[in-house]
Amino acid sequence: MIEIRNLYKAFGAQMVLNNLNLSVRRGETKAIIGRSGVGKSVLLKSIVGLMKPDSGSININGVEATNLNEKGYDRLRMEIGMVFQGGALFDSMSVGDNVAFVLNEFLNLDQKNVRDRVAHALALVGLKDVEPMMPSQLSGGMKKRVSLARVLCMEPQIILYDEPTSEIDPITAAAINHLIIELHDKLKVTSIVVTHDMNSAYQVADSIAMFYRGQVIADGKPQEIKNSTHPVIRQFITGQAQGPITEDESLIFGHVK
Amino acid sequence: MLNFVIKIGAATNSLVRYLGQLTILWSQTIVLALTPSFKGTRSLIQAHRIGPGSFVISSLVAFFVGMIMALQMAYQMVQLSAEIYIPKVVSVALTRELAPVLTALIVAGRIGAGIAAEIGSMTVTEQVDALRAFAVNPVKYLVVPRFLGLVLMLPVLAMLADVIGIWGGYVICVYKLHISHQMFWKMVFSALAMKDIVTGLVKTIFFGMIIAIVGCHQGLNVRGGAEGVGKATTTAVVRSFILIIMTDCMITFIFYFLLNV
């Protein structure tokens, strides 16, 4: 269970999260949608403790994360896996070593056990015999899948996905969506999926939250978001160039408001 | 005038802030190096990257500097018929000063730049964030092995540079100035004391720390993409050079005036 209350985060004069409130139930997959720069990734990084919010509360499984020091957060991080936008694979290591990273760092397992667990995690994301490859030899979709396999080795209770289907072809995107659903069904993990891809959000999410001006302006089931008449939501989910979101900005395709 | 004072104030503020950040990173590194769990192989891998790769270039430079010193001194000493003292001066100057400093500058250019670029590209591609997300301290994982690798290897490289630099002087003294082989080594060993070698090597430990901490600090604080990595690399080398020379002056001052060595 993740409970976020009155969260604020600013970078200089720019307020990114502005009194943000959000709840994610245990075992739920929540998709977060919204334009670039509305603070979706900042929220994920705040949850995993890579950024410190200016104020507000982040409660994860009953633990108030904002009160934790780095060591305390490390214990919490063992329950949270994050799939980064670009994969963030360690490029000096092979795929096998990337996936085995957490096992090698924290568990004193024999090498056969490590290899088995790596192969199992890679099989879960639909990859086989890629252990000797280097990250530079992988396609964008494969990188994301390896990144997910690396997270699965941790056996986390919560998985945070930062744009898992961006910059990959529609077929690979569909495979990743299928994977997120499967992991949710099989492992019962709580997931937050940050995405711009509405197809992905409708497919994978139990509920969708729309971010606008650093706040959640709608939070509901995919069908409710789909049928929303809110002009901001309608413009975003239908991908219209003209509408309240772009009117709100000072520059609309070269025309100054 | 007021603007000038404000600029000086801002520059002093940013210098103090920067040195403070380096000190914090240095102390974190020392504490984490002494905190279990210990992964010695990572430091050995770094030592292997630093040592053998830098040996050829640092040896070449030391060899030629030894030759140049002997030649430049011969220019004056021959007129005084005092060329016999050249081996003494070459060996003392190399071991106390030139070999440690030149080796450190070479390693700062070669390894310090590499450290800043490698960690910088890890920072911009979120690999450092990934480490933290996996509850791994980036200072322990990235900085400590490079720090230990440099502190371990720089004295070794400097020691080899001492020997090879003296051989550079030997070539000029024996084959150009016609000092005999025996006389050359007799003069070298009569001039060199253990304290000359030790003071040079003590300096290299500090230089190794500077190269590691400056390079890692630049890498961990990269902003932007490829351009940021490029800037961090250049800055790491320039700042390492300045800090090495400043520290050398400071340590030499301490040795000479406070410890009388």
Q: In this predicted structure, what is the pLDDT of residue B65?
A: 97
At A167, the pLDDT band (50, 70, 90 cuts) reads confident
Model confidence at B100: pLDDT above 90:
yes
Residue ranges of the domains in chain A?
2-226
**Mutate which of A47, A71, A77, A192 to test chain B, going by most B C-beta atoms within 10 A?**
A77
Record: contact B136-A105, CB cut-off 8 A: yes
B129 contact residues in A (CB cutoff 8 A): 45, 50, 84, 88
Which chain A residue lies closest to B135 (C-alpha atoms)? Answer: A74
Mean pLDDT of A88-95: 94
In this structure, the strands spanning A29-33 and A207-212 are: parallel
List the structure tokens of B144.
Answer: 């400590």
Residue A78 C-alpha, separation from nearest chain B C-alpha, in angstroms:
7
Q: How many CB atoms lie within 10 A of CB B84?
A: 15
Q: In this predicted structure, what is the pLDDT of residue B168?
A: 97
Residue B127 C-alpha, separation from nearest chain A C-alpha, in angstroms:
5
Record: contact A88-B127, CB cut-off 8 A: yes
Record: contact A84-B130, CB cut-off 8 A: yes
Residue B37: cis peptide before it, omega within 30 degrees of 0 = yes
Q: In this predicted structure, what is the pLDDT of residue A253?
A: 42
Model confidence at B179: pLDDT above 80:
yes
Record: contact B133-A48, CB cut-off 8 A: yes
Element at A15 (helix H, strand E): strand A14-24
Record: contact B133-A77, CB cut-off 8 A: yes
For A73-89, write each residue's pLDDT tens digit.
Answer: 999 999 999 999 888 99
Residue B122 C-alpha, separation from nearest chain A C-alpha, in angstroms:
8
Record: contact B133-A90, CB cut-off 8 A: no
List the structure tokens of B63.
Answer: 């060899």
Record: contact A86-B126, CB cut-off 8 A: yes
Q: In this predicted structure, what is the pLDDT of residue A58?
A: 96
B135 contact residues in A (CB cutoff 8 A): 73-75, 77-78, 106
Model confidence at A254: pLDDT above 60:
no
Record: contact B134-A105, CB cut-off 8 A: yes
- Closest CB to B125 among A50, A82, A88: A88
- Closest CB to A102 among B125, B126, B134: B134
Record: contact B127-A78, CB cut-off 8 A: no
List the structure tokens of A106.
Answer: 């924290």
A49 contact residues in B (CB cutoff 8 A): 132
Q: Please state the separation of Cα A131 from the chain's center in Å.
A: 24
Which chain B residue lies closest to A93 (C-alpha atoms)? Answer: B127
C-alpha–C-alpha distance, residues B215 and B111, integer Å? 8
- Closest CB to B129 among A50, A73, A89: A50
Contact B214, B120 (CB under 8 A): no
C-alpha–C-alpha distance, residues A151 and A9, integer Å? 27
Q: In this predicted structure, what is the pLDDT of residue B93?
A: 95
C-alpha–C-alpha distance, residues A93 and B119, integer Å? 14
Bridge-partner residues for A160, per DSSP? Answer: A82, A192
Q: Please state the separation of Cα A233 from the chain's center in Å.
A: 20
Contact A16, A61 (CB under 8 A): no
Contact B37, B135 (CB under 8 A): no
Residue ranges of the domains in chain B?
41-258
> What 3-state DSSP class applies to A242?
coil
Rg, C-alpha atoms of chain A: 19
Q: Closest Cα to residue A217, out of A231, A227, A206? A: A231
Give Cα separations from A145 to A28, A179, B261 (angstroms). Answer: 21, 9, 61
For B241-260, write each residue's pLDDT tens digit.
Answer: 999 999 999 999 998 888 87
Q: Closest Cα to residue A222, out of A238, A242, A200, A241? A: A200
C-alpha–C-alpha distance, residues A99 and A151, integer Å? 8
C-alpha–C-alpha distance, residues A179 and A175, integer Å? 6
Record: contact B133-A86, CB cut-off 8 A: no
Q: How many CB atoms lie within 10 A of CB B43?
A: 21
For A21-65, write each residue's pLDDT tens digit.
Answer: 999 999 999 999 998 888 999 999 999 999 999 999 999 999 999
Bridge-partner residues for A2, per DSSP? Answer: A24, A60
Record: contact B134-A101, CB cut-off 8 A: yes
Element at A229 (helix H, strand E): none
Instruction: Give the CATH fold of the A2-226 domain.
Output: Rossmann fold (3.40.50)
At A1, the pLDDT band (50, 70, 90 cuts) reads confident
Which chain A residue lies closest to B39 (C-alpha atoms)? Answer: A105
Q: Closest Cα to residue B136, out of A199, A64, A52, A103? A: A103
Whether the CA torsion A31, A37, A39, A42 is positive or negative: it is positive
- Closest CB to B135 among A78, A84, A89: A78
Record: contact B135-A86, CB cut-off 8 A: no
For tokens 């978001």, what's the residue? A225
A73 contact residues in B (CB cutoff 8 A): 135
A81 contact residues in B (CB cutoff 8 A): 133
At A256, the pLDDT band (50, 70, 90 cuts) reads very low
At A249, the pLDDT band (50, 70, 90 cuts) reads low
